[in-house]
Structure 1
Amino acid sequence: MRTAILAAAIGLAASAAAAEDFKFASFFAPTHPYVTGAFEPFAKMVGEKSGGDLTVTIYNGGELGPGPAEQYTRVLDGVAELGVSLAGYTASTFPLTLVAELPGVINAETGTRDIWNNIELFQPEYRRAILVSLWSSAPNVLYTRDKAVRSPDDIKGMKIRVPSRNTGLLVEAWGATPVSMPVSEIYNSLQTGVIDGAMIDTTATRAFRLGEVANYLTVGMDTTNSPFFILANRQAFNGLSESDQAALLEAGKEASILANETQLKVAADGVTAFAELEGHELIELTAEEAAAFNAAAAEVTAQVVAETGGSAQAIVDALKH
C-alpha cells in the first residue's frame, strides 16, 4: 500500500515538473477591460486545453519591462514567451496585417472573424514569432482638447497623435500633423499641449482617462482601426509538444474573438460616457460632413494597398463587405 502511494506521489511530482509555464507580457494596467475580458480567459483556456501541461502567467502593467512597442522585442528575446502589442508599433514588420487597419477595409463588428477566416493571407509575415491571436479594434476616432472638429478645415495645422504609419497618412490627408506616440503618453501630452488631439478608439475615454483632458470627440468618418496581436517566442513554442502547441493556438483564436467583443462593448460605453461629461461635446458627423473626410480616407487606402503590393489587394478583397 505504502509503495503504491509513493509511486502515485512520484507520478504526480513528475507530472507537475513536466508542466511548462509561459510568461505573458502585457503593458495594460491590471484594471484594463482586456485583462478580465480576454487575457485571463485565454490563460484559463490554455490550461484546460493542454490538460494542465501548459500554463500562462500574466504580467500586467509592464512588469516585465515598460513600453507598448517594446513588448514585441521582449517576445523575440525570450524575456517573455508571450506578449501583446499593436502591429502598428512595428509597422515595417507587419505591412500585410496593417492593410486590415485601413479605412473602409474592415467591418468593426465582423472584422476579427473575417481575419481568422483568411488568416493564411497574414501568416507569411510572422516568421520571427508565432502568431497566437489577432483581432481588429473599434475605429480610431478624434479626441481634441481645445477645438471642435467638424471638417478637414477645422483640423488643419493641428498636432494629432497617431498609433501607426497608416493613421499618420490619414491625418496628413486631412491636413493635420501626425505625431507617433504610444498610448501611455497621450494623457500627459494632451494635458500639456504637446499635442492638440489624438486618434484612438473610444475605450480611451475611461481606460486611459482621456475624458479628463479632451473636451471634444469627433466620430462618424471612415477611419483606421488598430489591429492587436498576441505573439509567442518561436523557440519556446517549438519546444512544446504538438498537443500543447495546438492548445495554445486554439485558445489564442478564441481569445481574439473575446478581445474584439470586449473592446467593442467598452468603446460603445466610452462614447456614451464622453457625451455625459459636463462641458464636453460629442460631435457625430452627418453624412454630408463626413464626405470630405471619407474622400481623403479612400485615397489613403488606395495608396497604401498599391505601395504594399503582394497580397495586399487580396486581403482587401477578402475583408471588405
Structure 2
Amino acid sequence: MKLRILAAAALLMSTAITAQAEAVKLGYNGAPDAKKNAVHYFAETLERIVEEKSGIEIELYPNSQLGNEQERMENTLAAPSLNVASFAGLSPVVPESFVSNTPFMFSTAEEARTFFDEGAYWKMVEQAFSDRTGGSEILAVVEEGGFLAFTSTDRAIHSPADFDGLKFRAMDPSQVALYEAMGASGTPIPWTEVYSALQTGVVEGQMNPPLYIILGSLNEVQKYMTRANVQYSMQFLVGNGAWLNSLSEADRKVLEEAVAEANAMTRGKVQATVESRVEWLAENGMEVITPTAAQLAEFQKIGQPSFIEWLGTQSIDPSFIEAAFNDLGKSDLLQK
C-alpha cells in the first residue's frame, strides 16, 4: 500500500513538473516578420528576454494560427496562454476599452503612451477586465505602427464629405460608428479577409497604420492613403489568470520586466520606421494625402462628437468616459 501511495505521489509530481515545463502559447495576428509586423517584433523580443532570464518557455503562433480574435480570447481565458488582441478581441469583455478608440483623441505618440501608462482610465479598464475574467490580466498595450490612416480605391479622402456613400471595412463596431458619422457604411471583416474584400469591391476602403497596409499588401488594391491621424494603433497583451498566478514570484517579476522592455523596444522601432513606411507606400503605388490643420479640424469636428454619442449607447459607465477625457485634460469636449 505504501509503495502504491509513493508511486502515485511520484506520478503526480512528474505530471506537475511536465505541466509547469510545458511552453505557454502566445497567439496574434500578422506574419512572423519582425521588419513588417511590430506585433511579431514585440512577441519575438518578449520570448527571447523571458527565456533568457527564467524557466518560462513561450511558443509563438502568428498569422492567427490559434484562431480569430474571439476564438483566441476565449482560449486565453480558459487555458494557460498569452494573446495579443485587438479591440475586436478585447471589447466583448470590456466595451469600456472603446473609449480609448475615440477618433482624433491623441495629437502625438507621446500623448497616447502617457495616456495608457499613467492614466486613471486605463487602470479602470484593466481592473474591469480582471474582475470579469476571474483574474486574467491586460499586461501591456502594444503598438502596431503609429496613427491609423484612411485608404480608398477610387476616391481620394480629403474631407469628411468624401466618405459619402462609400463602403469601408471595419475592425469592430466602434469603427462602424465612425464611418457612419462620416456618411459612409462600415462592414466588419477579419484581417485575414481584408485584401480579398478590397480586391473584389466588397468594400472600397479601410483604415490601418502604414505598417499594416504594407503587411497586408493593401497598396496593391488601394490607390489613396489619407494621413488623418484617426486613432493610435495598438493591441493588447492578455494573460490567462490561472497561469499568471501559478508563476513563482521571481518568474512573475521576470515576465513583467520583460513585457516592459519588449514594449519599450517596440515603441522605439515603430517611431523610427513610420515615415520610411509612408515613403515606401508612396513609391509603391499609393498617393499619400496629408490633410491641412483646417481639414484635420473638420474631421475631428464631425467624427469625435458622433463617436462620443455612440459610446453613450454602449452601456458604458459614464465614469470611464469622464476619466479618459480628464486624463487628457479635454473634459470640456464632453460638454459640447
Match for residue 41 of structure 1 among 27, 42, 45: 45
Change (3 A) 1:243 1:318: same
State the Cα distance separating 1:170 from its structure 2 match: 1.5
Q: CA–CA distance in 2 between the matches of 1:191 and 1:92?
A: 29
Does 2:309 match 1:303? yes
The aligned residue for residue 7 of structure 2 is: none
Deviations 1:191-238 (A, max 9, x none): 110001001111123111111110111123x52234311111111112
Q: CA–CA distance in 2 between the matches of 1:94 and 1:320?
A: 23
Does 2:37 match 1:29? no
Map of 1:127-206 to 2, 5 A cutoff? 127=130, 128=133, 129-137=136-144, 138-206=146-214
Secondary structure, aligned partner of 1:54: coil
Asked if structure 2 preserves the Cα contact closer than 8 Å seen for 1:218 and 1:285, the reply is yes
Change (3 A) 1:173 1:301: closer
Q: What is the one-letter code of the residue matched to 1:112? A: R
Map of 1:5-154 to 2, 5 A cutoff? 19=21, 21-31=23-33, 32-34=36-38, 37-48=41-52, 51-63=53-65, 65-78=66-79, 81-110=81-110, 111-118=112-119, 119-127=122-130, 128=133, 129-137=136-144, 138-154=146-162
Change (3 A) 1:262 1:98: farther
Q: CA–CA distance in 2 between the matches of 1:242 and 1:225?
A: 34
Asked if structure 2 preserves the Cα contact closer than 8 Å seen for 1:75 and 1:232, the reply is yes
Q: Could you tell which deviates more after superposition, 51-60 or 299-308?
A: 299-308
Of Structure 1 and Structure 2, which has the larger fraction of its residues in helix? 2
Change (3 A) 1:38 1:154: same
**Runs of 5+ unmatched residues, structure 2:** 1-13, 331-336
State the Cα distance separating 1:185 from its structure 2 match: 1.3
Q: CA RMSD in A?
A: 2.5
State the Cα distance separating 1:36 from its structure 2 match: 5.5
Change (3 A) 1:315 1:132: same
The aligned residue for residue 240 of structure 2 is: 233
Q: Could you tell which deviates more after superposition, 172-181 or 143-152?
A: 143-152
Secondary structure, aligned partner of 1:30: coil
Change (3 A) 1:67 1:306: closer
The aligned residue for residue 224 of structure 2 is: 216
TM-score (norm 1): 0.84
Q: What is the one-letter code of the residue matched to 1:174? A: M
Deviations 1:236-294 (A, max 9, x none): 1121112222222222233333333333444433321121224x311111223333212
State the Cα distance separating 1:108 from its structure 2 match: 4.1
Secondary structure, aligned partner of 2:169: strand
Q: CA–CA distance in 2 between the matches of 1:39 and 1:45?
A: 10
Q: Could you tell which deviates more after superposition, 206-215 or 133-142?
A: 133-142
Percent sequence identity over matched residues?
A: 23
Q: CA–CA distance in 1 between the matches of 2:39 and 2:323?
A: 33
Q: CA–CA distance in 1 between the matches of 2:235 and 2:38?
A: 11
Deviations 1:21-78 (A, max 9, x none): 3111223211243256311111122224xx4221212122233x33244321221232
Secondary structure, aligned partner of 1:161: strand
**Runs of 5+ unmatched residues, structure 1:** 1-12
State the Cα distance separating 1:297 from its structure 2 match: 2.0
